[in-house]
Amino acid sequence: MSDVLELVDVSVVRDGRALVDDVSWSVKEGERWVILGPNGAGKTTLLNIASSYLFPTKGSATVLGEQLGGVGTDVFDLRPRIGIAGVAMADKLPRRQTVLQTVLTAAYGMTATWHENYDKVDEDRARAFLDRLGMTEYLDRKFGTLSEGERKRTLIARAMMTDPELLLLDEPAAGLDLGGREDLVRRLGRLARDPYAPSMIMVTHHVEEIAPGFTHVLMIRQGKVLAAGPMETELSSRNLSLCFGLPLVVEHQGDRYTARGLPLA
């Protein structure tokens, strides 16, 4: 299996502080990774490297076989091969575009605005992705009027539009109500188990948001990797407690996880 992402001794230093500190991590084709860690741990920074928008200060980062900053690597060729759904992206998208336009424009560059010359093939693809995310009834709604959950689902459909080899999701379930979260987890689970779906990396704060089909977990605290490997072995009470800095118990029931703090003695 080839490497989708290969970080070797990667640090990102800003104002003399390492936001990501000597991280080595490799993601192979077909793997579905979850990144867990407290606020400010460096999760989004790692995703920014994986998306090729941020280059390490030290170390080497190779994304889909291309070394960031390497001779012969053109990030503009690399970026369409990566789908990104995160809060930063939502803020860049025109609020007045319809849901269908918002997804369709992804095929023509980052945040391109609407013009009339879209291919029927692309429009059909956009409709199909939106349908898969349960957004068929919202095709003509203005993106800016969507609820948090509807916006998240639109962004995931949009990220799929370029047929990416790597899909990056930054807190896709944040701000969703219980029903919305469960609906999204179910849909992500379907995607994660689809052998034709891209390799995936999802950042989350809650083990309850880990969809079935996710295979690996990386835990990060203060920029340093605490644990990285298969979900069954690494998503342990011990690792999670170290990661969040308090005693926690993880339970695995069926194909889902829950975590809670231990009562004070």
Ligand X SMILES: Nc1ncnc2c1ncn2[C@@H]1O[C@H](COP(=O)(O)OP(=O)(O)OP(=O)(O)O)[C@@H](O)[C@H]1O
Q: How far is the CB of 208 from ligand X (least distance, A)?
A: 16
Measured in degrees and rounded to the nearest 5, phi and psi for residue 248 equal -130, 150
d(CA 119, CA 215): 36
Measured in degrees and rounded to the nearest 5, phi and psi for residue 90 equal -55, -40
Q: How far is the CB of 103 from Mg ion (least distance, A)?
A: 24
Residue 70: contacted member of ligand X, Mg ion, none (CB under 5 to 8 Å, by partner type): none
Is the Cβ of residue 33 or residue 129 nearer to Mg ion in the bound state? 33
Is the Cβ of residue 135 or residue 240 nearer to ligand X in the bound state? 240
Q: How far is the CB of 44 from Mg ion (least distance, A)?
A: 3
| Helices of type H across 114-161 | 120-132, 148-160
Sign of CA dihedral 241, 247, 252, 256: negative
- 257 sits in the region (left: phi over 0; alpha: psi -120 to 50; else beta) called beta
d(CA 160, CA 181): 20
Binding region for Mg ion (CB under 5 A): 43-44
Q: How far is the CB of 43 from ligand X (least distance, A)?
A: 3
Binding region for ligand X (CB under 6 A): 14-15, 19, 37, 39-45
Is the Cβ of residue 44 or residue 154 nearer to Mg ion in the bound state? 44
Residue 40: contacted member of Mg ion, ligand X, none (CB under 5 to 8 Å, by partner type): ligand X
Is the Cβ of residue 42 or residue 83 nearer to ligand X in the bound state? 42
